[in-house]
Structure 1
Amino acid sequence: MHQPNLVEGNKPIVLGHDYSTLGWVPEMSGSWAIPLCHERISSFETAAQRAAFQLRQVCRDLSVRPIATYDSEYGSAAFMNLTEDIPADLLLRLRPNRCLYKAPEPYSGSGRPRKHGDKFQLANADSWGDSSATFSLEDETVGQVQIQQWSDLHFKKASQRHFQVIRVTHPHCSGLWLAWVGEQMPTLEQIWRLYLRRFAIDHWNRFAKQRLHWTLPQLLTPQQALRWSDLMPLLSWQLWLARQLVIDTPLPWQKPQTNLTFGRVAQGFAALLVRIGSPACSPKPRGKSLGWKSGRKRDPYPRFPIIKNALLVPKRSTKTSLIPNPKYSPFHSLGFAQFSILWVTFPALF
């Protein structure tokens, strides 16, 4: 299968399926993150749509209002609109080039009431104005931390959802922008630490790829990839439930651990299985397999249609031109096809 080389400066495009994982972070420290929903993003939906669907599913079975943290891909007006009716508080990261809007001035009595106030450009400090609250603290890990808060901001395409904007700076970070959407906001001292707990899901993602071999098999169909991917949350929950039963067995170059991580529990899981035993019978030899019969034909690999997610249509020009109308050109269909196929799914990899 051909895969083009990565060109510096271009958008990276790789072969595979995109997955959305919604996890539960049970502790305020450590690397544990237990996946609740681990699903493939189909070719006919966006990552924001799948994430909103997962959050709605989880909140339907919860008795408390959760706090959901998301990275900058979900800090957008589209995700705000999709999660408007979900009973959950959102803590989103914002891209540093986002443009927000302040609340409009009171209605003057003439004309249509304004929906947006002045611009609040994250990359332009002159547009920020005075912050509504500030807080400083000395952290043991990163040093001096400065936190600022601005209230009552919104996206242009989601003007009905107002939120708080928090900017976190420290010597190792020029500016971390967060948005709080929900009811009672935590204190400025707590909220930036809450977002740092989101990175536990990245540790699980790496563990699933490296230790559980999530991306190792090259499967043929999306259904096979889904069945294999469904095993990842099941294995993770088994490790989480067995963390108090497993005895730490470090390798010669590893230090002993008191609070075991995903990897250390998996490392000592075999000894626990020996203690538990298995209800299955021991395997018995049955002789050699007959193998593939001579003359039996093999079915060819299934072929899948190309998914077209975008279509480039040339803009109409009002100027007269001596170039013939491409509508009547015999090469129009060939050139149009070259520009219309932008995204292709390859189900053999994920």
Structure 2
Amino acid sequence: MLYPRLAHRGVWVEHPGELPIIAGTLLRLQVEHLPGEHAPKPVWLWSSVIGASAADVDRWWQSFLRRFDLEHTFRLFKQTLGWTAPKVRTPAAADRWTWLLVAAYTQLQLASPLTADLRRPWERPADPGRLTPTRVRRGFRHLRTKTSRPARAPKPSRPGPGRPPGSHNRHRATHHDVGKRATTAATSRNNQG
């Protein structure tokens, strides 16, 4: 049985006294062979569950192998769909924005068989049902001709009068930072003093 080494940083910055010992299960993944002539090295995984069953162990190493897909999904959310781009003012607005992105991602997944593969010169061709969400997004604009239009196009209108020229905004909106901050013991002491 092995224990992780904890340090007085992050969530443990404010912890008084000695840090606790957290028991867990250590997994060793060994691959039989790799492409090419590379010697496979073992991969070590740790879980805070004690007395894991064989089904738990199978789920953990398979989840570890799926981490690549999850990391690329979050990268798509942030870079392509703009998950972190808006300056939301409340946590509720951040939740709504996240659910909107999940809906957009779902639409991209459902539109995969309908779009053509508009690939870049360096990308390999892919079957229409196996396109990545980014490649589906490239061909998404061509779907309009294939779908029905339940509503008419919006009519152009003039913008409202707005604030008179030269006047200042007297009611500034409050801004809540919903981002993650790394906290260390040094910054915590500086903020208290």
Task: Place the TM-score, normalised by the shorter chain, in its bin.
Answer: 0.5 to 0.7
- Give 2:139's aligned residue: 268
| 2:7 pairs with 1:137 | no
SS at match of 1:139: coil
Inter-partner Cα distance in structure 2 for 1:134 and 1:254:
31
**Structure 2 matches for 1:103-122, cutoff 5 A?**
none
1:283 to 154, 171, 176: 154
- Give 1:176's aligned residue: 44
Please give the TM-score of this superposition, normalised by the length of structure 2. 0.62
2:73 to 185, 200, 204: 204
- Give 1:228's aligned residue: 97
SS at match of 1:230: helix
| 2:167 pairs with 1:299 | no
**Structure 2 matches for 1:85-96, cutoff 5 A?**
none
SS at match of 2:114: coil
1:213 to 69, 73, 82: 82
Whether the 8 Å CA contact 1:208–1:232 is kept in 2: the answer is: yes
Inter-partner Cα distance in structure 2 for 1:245 and 1:191:
34
Q: 1:276 to 1:177 in 2, by over 3 A?
A: same
Over aligned residue pairs, what C-alpha RMSD do you find?
Answer: 4.2
Report how many residues are paired.
Answer: 162
Inter-partner Cα distance in structure 1 for 2:76 and 2:31:
35
Inter-partner Cα distance in structure 2 for 1:134 and 1:197:
14
Larger RCO, structures 1/2 (Cα 8 Å, 6+ apart): 2
C-alpha deviation, 1:186, in angstroms: 7.8
SS at match of 2:68: helix
If each structure's strand is expressed as a fraction of its own residues, which one has the higher value? Answer: 1
1:185 to 48, 51, 55: 55
Inter-partner Cα distance in structure 1 for 2:143 and 2:39:
45
C-alpha deviation, 1:242, in angstroms: 1.6
C-alpha deviation, 1:208, in angstroms: 0.5
C-alpha deviation, 1:301, in angstroms: 2.5
If each structure's helix is expressed as a fraction of its own residues, which one has the higher value? Answer: 2
Inter-partner Cα distance in structure 2 for 1:243 and 1:340:
53
C-alpha deviation, 1:279, in angstroms: 1.5
**Cα shift readout 1:284-327 (whole Å, capped 9, x = no counterpart):** 233353232466864122377xxxxx9x9xxxxxxxxxxxxxxx
SS at match of 2:173: coil
Question: Which structure has the greater CA radius of gyration?
Answer: 1
Inter-partner Cα distance in structure 2 for 1:296 and 1:138:
68
Whether the 8 Å CA contact 1:137–1:144 is kept in 2: the answer is: no
Whether the 8 Å CA contact 1:239–1:265 is kept in 2: the answer is: yes
Whether the 8 Å CA contact 1:248–1:260 is kept in 2: the answer is: yes
| 2:109 pairs with 1:237 | no
